[in-house]
Chain A
Amino acid sequence: MAEPRSVDESFLALPLSALTEAALTRAVDLGCEHADIRVERIRTQTIRLRDARVEAAADGEDLGLAVRVVHEGTWGFAAGVVLTAAEAVRLAEEAVVVAQVSAAVNTDRVELAPEPVYPDAEWVSAYEIDPFAVPEAEKTGLMVELSERLLAADGVEHVQSDVMAVKEQKWYADTAGTRTRQQRVRIHPTFTALTVDRSTGAFESMRTLAPPAGRGWEYLTGSTWNWGAELAEIPELLREKTKAPSVEPGRYDLVVDPSNLFLTIHESIGHATELDRALGYEAAYAGTSFATVEKLGSLQYGSPLMNVTGDRTAEHGLSTVGYDDEGVAGQQWDIVKDGVLVGYQIDRNMARLQGMGRSNGCAFADSAAHVPVQRMANVSLQPDPDGPSTEELIAGVDRGVYVVGDKSWSIDMQRYNFQFTGQRFYKIEGGKLAGQLKDVAYQATTTDFWGSMSRVGGPETYVLGGAFNCGKAQPGQVAPVSHGCPSALFENTTILNTVQEGGQ
């Protein structure tokens, strides 16, 4: 077991208390009902390789501070990058000016749902090896070695690979007295093999399924993911894909692997149960939701086998925190219970506005430069405790398709109509896999799709997938989030042939 970690001294050595005192005192003096300050340092490293040669090695650090106020019932927000008490005072003053200019367009008085005060809280995510403590040459060396192994395989013409590692450190303090300091680490390595047939102009690719994780460098060197085995099987899987028949469009029973289903959950459940979307705050940009507030407790989201939770607590989850960006402690709650919509993801202002009691802790800002908005918890489909294995799910299908790995995704602004592709699609005939298919996409409407879920895999099929790049809000913010799910069976789903869709 790893030692319990603490937040890096180099972050705690920043003048956090002095900045807090300066900003919050000034905000209170200016008559703010509420004020909070965040100081964040985000280290990001990306190593990108093209054909096993380093194409770019970039190391970034974003360090800044932000003051958010509620002044006469209106939000104000200001952010900067100079960590001095004078700048903290200036930001408090500027946040009040922003609130004053904005008052001309504000009709909803901002109030925050109550939350216990945490006067001295520390939280650090679960990881073993800090990626930023590993020598660059060692990281680059491993990426080159793994990429070369893939590139050396027969039939692999090109290899695209990268690893992105992030360390996020955050100080939050507010006028109620909460003071939290947190640190979390995440990593996402990917390897993609590509083959080109010059005579026909055709090309195909195959990417690793290893999900991004709230883990350290041990994700690449330890036993969590078997990189050797996955990289060894990709060339043959790619070769099989290039020779696979083009799919016959129509309706099929789909067995969807967690490596693909996590993204369908993200788009069709995760975003649809964000309360800010349901209320219209994202209406001009990310969109709204069909799952509107008056349907809470009654909307039949899917089949009775469907149980979905939201959490900010899952170990190694990308949305997991100790406390959110409004000082609310991380929690877990039900979103869909026995197929019915029972919960949303909320923040403190919306909780108050909707009379929902306490916030469930979904406020997040992707850096000090941005204002916290309601962002996604880890939204996960629960396995059937006595459910089947993936093989047993496949064995129960007479004519179907087994979908593995995520690729392209698109869903409408109310989260009804979606279309996904994948890394590989297998034909199922008489309960058995009968080779890969190509040119496949599946298309459905959210409630129809989840309503057609007739079997849910058991706990042994459960995988925590996720993404680093969930986009929302204006100015745009990017958030990492995980989604756990088992394999599951969806009956009678529309499959498209993407070549025919292109009119060729």
Chain B
Amino acid sequence: MSVMTAQQIVEAALAASTVDGQVVYVVDSSEANLRWASNSLTTNGAMRSRQVVVISFVDGGAGMAAGTVARTGTPDVAELVAASEQAARDAGPAEDAMPLIGDVPAGSGEWDAEPATTSIEVFREFAPALGQAFGAAGARDELLFGFAEHQMATTYVGTSTGLRLRHDQPTGRVELNGKSRDFARSVWAGVGTRDFSDVSIEALAAEVEQKLAWSQRRVDLPAGRYETLLPPSTVSDLLIYAYWTMEARDADEGRNVYAKTGGGNRIGERICALPLTLRSDPDEPGLECSPFQVVGGSSGMASVFDNGMATPAIDWISGGVLTNLIRPRAWALQQTAPATAALDNLVLEDPTSTVTTEEMIASTERGLLLTTLWYVREVDPQSLLLTGLTRDGVFLIEDGEVTGAVNNFRFNESPVSLLGRATQASRTERTLPREWNDFFTRAAMPMLRVPDFNMSSVSPAS
């Protein structure tokens, strides 16, 4: 049996189309992973997959309708196309209907090339180094837990309007969690990577060792509002949620935190005390992501009609002022506002800042230094109040130095409110979101100083 290439599937699907338009994309992906607990392997894997997605567009007279059918493996292309055409006929006219994109976006890759791949071999050198870290941790009566994963996904997009786009997306992450043997002390270090060439397990293990040492002295503190240093990972988890909520239509309809009282949205409003910029850029060094849209199903955030739309660099917040929300073309047309799309990376920066995270710690008289956040969930969409836990290291800073580890807390805070209250930001650095790294790994953030972070209650968890 000869297996078709992704490009051949795209052409075959487009050739089989009998309706008014079609978008087809094939994602060829491969991945390898290792997982460990208590200084030993728990699970592993090497996976390959192919997903074929056909979106058909049918003009039923009352407007254009869309239907999506997705299959893995080696589907019968003619059957897939017919099923998506039937789904479109059954769906009824789409509110987000627009002419399909015909302009070629900048930065789309080499169409004819083979897909990029990865395999378990990516860990040939990493695994023995990790084994050595296990030995060293064990000798200190410490345990290491964590996960390393490398994925390659090559997406080929074809449209009935003539687009042939390709994008290679490498994604890698390593999380290292260290604990004392009784689990009472627990700390974390993590990094995102494109190819593991820049991952040093020794450096991560050293960070874990230092934080476990910081945790030797335990300080119990009650719930309350504290001056708090939010390191880049925690800022990313809070800001990613704020980003995922940046739907223009919801705001225009009065139903998210970016809605303006009295109607309209908050674009143009200063929402940060500092001159912060929140932005996405497909060419951000080290955080490169797709320069065009790939959408399987429409929502208020994205439209299947916008497949192939260029997603150039964009500021969501500029100089502390809300400047853009996420707006598919159809809603943009209705609102006479620019069409925008969410990208797969996020950068927050204070262009005026030159301080390092170490300098922010050193200049703190008394405050809390967090490590990561966990179980972040929305409590009140109107203020975007989120709840969650501090995790793997809440450190007490006294007179510019870490003097011990504090109990964990449940927090209730809104990232939008925090942007309005943050009084200092460090230089921006690449970071791995702890809570959301299953879905989002490409982030660069500063540390933020918040004078009154709301620790709602104590969590006895470690």
CA distance A59 to B91 in the complex (A): 12
Check if A75 sits within 8 Å of B147, measured CB to CB: no
Nearest residue (CB) in A for B73 is: A81
- State whether A58 and B41 are in contact (beta carbons under 8 Å apart), knowing that A412-B408, A412-B459 are contacts in the complex: no
Interface-centre pick from B120, B176, B391 (highest chain A CB count, 10 A):
B120
Check if A101 sits within 8 Å of B120, measured CB to CB: yes
- State whether A63 and B457 are in contact (beta carbons under 8 Å apart), knowing that A55-B95, A280-B183, A371-B45 are contacts in the complex: no
Say whether chain B's binding surface is mostly helix, strand, loop, or mixed. Answer: strand
Check if A413 sits within 8 Å of B389, measured CB to CB: yes
Interface-centre pick from B35, B385, B452 (highest chain A CB count, 10 A):
B35
B243 contacts chain A at the CB level, 8 A cutoff: no
Check if A284 sits within 8 Å of B188, measured CB to CB: yes
What's the nearest-Cβ distance from chain B to residue A173, in Å? 19
CA distance A40 to B412 in the complex (A): 41
Check if B91 sits within 8 Å of A98, measured CB to CB: no
What's the nearest-Cβ distance from chain B to residue A399, in Å? 22
B260 contacts chain A at the CB level, 8 A cutoff: yes
A178 contacts chain B at the CB level, 8 A cutoff: no
Check if B263 sits within 8 Å of A75, measured CB to CB: no
We find that the number of chain A residues with CB closer than 8 angstroms to chain B is 96
Check if B259 sits within 8 Å of A369, measured CB to CB: no
Q: Mark A266-289, 1 if CB is under 8 A from B, else 0.
A: 000000000000011111110110
B254 contacts chain A at the CB level, 8 A cutoff: yes
B42 contacts chain A at the CB level, 8 A cutoff: yes
Check if A158 sits within 8 Å of B45, measured CB to CB: no
CA distance A140 to B91 in the complex (A): 7
B72 contacts chain A at the CB level, 8 A cutoff: yes
A445 contacts chain B at the CB level, 8 A cutoff: yes
CA distance A34 to B276 in the complex (A): 56
Check if B460 sits within 8 Å of A417, measured CB to CB: yes
Interface-centre pick from A101, A441, A498 (highest chain B CB count, 10 A):
A101
Nearest residue (CB) in B for A135 is: B90
A339 contacts chain B at the CB level, 8 A cutoff: no
CA distance A416 to B408 in the complex (A): 11
Residues of A within 8 A of B380 (CB): 439, 498-499, 502
CA distance A314 to B294 in the complex (A): 40
CA distance A329 to B382 in the complex (A): 47
A39-79 at interface with B (beta carbon < 8 Å): 46, 48, 50, 53-64, 74-79
What's the nearest-Cβ distance from chain A to residue B461, in Å? 4
Residues of B within 8 A of A140 (CB): 90-92
Selected contact of B297 from candidates A56, A77, A80, A496, CB within 8 Å: A56
A-contacting 9-mer, from B227-235, B284-292, B370-378? B370-378
CA distance A452 to B89 in the complex (A): 55
Nearest residue (CB) in B for A202 is: B382
B356-397 at interface with A (beta carbon < 8 Å): 374-383, 385, 387-389, 391
Selected contact of B40 from candidates A54, A108, A200, CB within 8 Å: A108
A332 contacts chain B at the CB level, 8 A cutoff: no
Residues of A within 8 A of B186 (CB): 283
A-contacting 9-mer, from B6-14, B46-54, B319-327, B339-347? B46-54
B139 contacts chain A at the CB level, 8 A cutoff: no
B388-429 at interface with A (beta carbon < 8 Å): 388-389, 391, 408, 410, 412-414, 417
Check if A503 sits within 8 Å of B454, measured CB to CB: yes
Check if B299 sits within 8 Å of A48, measured CB to CB: yes
Q: Mark B180-203, 1 if CB is under 8 A from A, else 0.
A: 000100101000000000000000
B113 contacts chain A at the CB level, 8 A cutoff: no
Selected contact of B127 from candidates A84, A101, A135, A282, CB within 8 Å: A101
- Counting from the closest, the 9 A-B pairs by CB-CB distance are A201-B261, A414-B461, A56-B297, A284-B177, A81-B73, A136-B90, A501-B412, A284-B145, A412-B461
**B-contacting residues of A (Cβ < 8 Å)?**
46, 48, 50, 53-64, 74-84, 94-95, 97-99, 101-102, 104-108, 135-137, 140, 144, 157-158, 194, 196, 198-203, 279-285, 287-288, 290, 369-371, 373, 408-417, 419, 421, 439, 441, 443, 445, 471, 473-476, 494, 496, 498-499, 501-504
- Please name 8 pairs of A and B residues whose Cβ atoms are closer than 8 Å in the assembled complex, sorted by A: A53-B93, A54-B91, A54-B92, A58-B70, A95-B46, A203-B381, A369-B49, A501-B456
**A-contacting residues of B (Cβ < 8 Å)?**
1, 3, 31-50, 65-75, 83-84, 86-87, 89-96, 120-121, 123-124, 127-128, 130-131, 134, 143, 145-147, 149, 175-177, 179, 183, 186, 188, 253-255, 259-263, 296-300, 304, 374-383, 385, 387-389, 391, 408, 410, 412-414, 417, 438, 452, 454, 456-462
